[in-house]
Amino acid sequence: MLCSGHALSPDQPHHFSFGIWVSTLARTGADCYSIRIGRWTEVRQIKVRHMKILSCNSNRPLAEAIAAYLDVPLTKAEVKRFADMEVFVEISENVRGEDVFVVQSTCFPANDNVMELLVALDALRRGSARRITAVIPYYGYARQDRKSGPRTPISAKLLANLITSAGADRVLTIDLHAGQIQGFFDIPTDNLFAAPVFVSDIKARYDGSKLMIVSPDVGGVVRARSLARRLEADLAIIDKRRPKAGMSEVMNIIGDVEDRHCIMVDDIVDSGGTLCNAAVALMNNGALSVDAYVTHGVLSGGAVSRVAASPLNSLVTTDSIPATEAVRVARNIKQLSIAPLLGEAMLRINQERSVSTLF
């Protein structure tokens, strides 16, 4: 629906980048936005239909950024612990008939954050919310997506069952460790990609440079190829072996990285061993510089100090997991915000519009 009038004076326009185009979303009045894509501007009415955003405790700064992007206040709620550390959630606003989005990453402490999400979903279901979407920027337990040996669990599937049983009608997440995890859910699941956010930053830093996109292992080739295609860059692959969990050994580099600015891309960085070993191998093979773009910065144990001491020029993550103090002060680690990406997806879900067209 077009809004009347052509003179616009938005107070706080929001800028976000997807792929090769840049758009600006600016609120110009009650439910009225101007949308600019390149040099074309459309003014239209966007109706947020009974949307509420509830934040648990794992990543409140991201939830606040999403709420600011959508110009929708966070729903008042109390998420606390009893003396014996039981989780208690009380929604302080009426949610009957509302489209509610619960923002909660299941990062460290994973079990506490999972329980907060489940209790919040149950509270909303019993409060008669019309639809409940679990917005899980980082889906914990995703690496346990198959049986790794006899008598081992598939915890990613178990968590999907718990989320569904607790009352979620839909799941919104970003860069699942394996795309097949979407099939663990019996409810609609939208798996967004951080690649558009990364592409904008890479172009701003290395526009015109000779880039080489590098997959740190064979399993990440599809992700790396997608980014290479967006940047019109070549692709290299690190061949590695992992003797045990949390350890990796670089075996070979497939591709010529000499005199190239290498960009490694992955979904999760945990101990940082894979990226740091790969950075050493790339520099030894003549790379001009090595950067890493990783969606989820778990960075457990001594990962931050390991990255700081490595040849990595920079490690760029998103705010799907809140930064620790060590990450904030690290010289070569920075975060990009995915709040506009998640906010736009939530808006489209609320309006029953396509999410896939974001990419």
Are 150 and 72 spatial neighbours (Cβ–Cβ below 8 Å)?
no
CA pair distance 37, 26, nearest whole angstrom: 12
Q: What SS3 state is found at 105?
A: coil
Domain boundaries, the chain: 1-47, 51-193+340-352, 195-319
What's this model's pTM, rounded to 2 decimal places? 0.85
Q: Which CATH architecture has domain 195-319?
A: 3-Layer(aba) Sandwich (3.40)
- pLDDT at position 239 is 87
Going by CATH, does the domain composed of 51-193+340-352 fall within 3.40.50.2020? yes
Are 303 and 159 spatial neighbours (Cβ–Cβ below 8 Å)?
no
- The residue to which tokens 């239909």 are assigned: 49
Assess whether 240 carries a catalytic annotation: yes
Mean pLDDT per block of 10 residues along the chain (359 residues) reads 38 44 45 46 56 97 97 96 96 97 97 98 98 98 94 97 98 95 97 96 90 92 95 92 62 92 97 92 95 97 95 97 96 96 97 90
Q: What's the token pair of residue 50? A: 């009974």
Catalytic residue among 157, 203, 240, 334: 240
- pLDDT at position 208 is 77
CA pair distance 121, 142, nearest whole angstrom: 20
- pLDDT at position 262 is 97
Preceding peptide of 109 cis, ω within 30°: yes
- pLDDT at position 47 is 57
CA pair distance 102, 172, nearest whole angstrom: 10
CA pair distance 75, 87, nearest whole angstrom: 18
Q: What SS3 state is found at 158?
A: helix
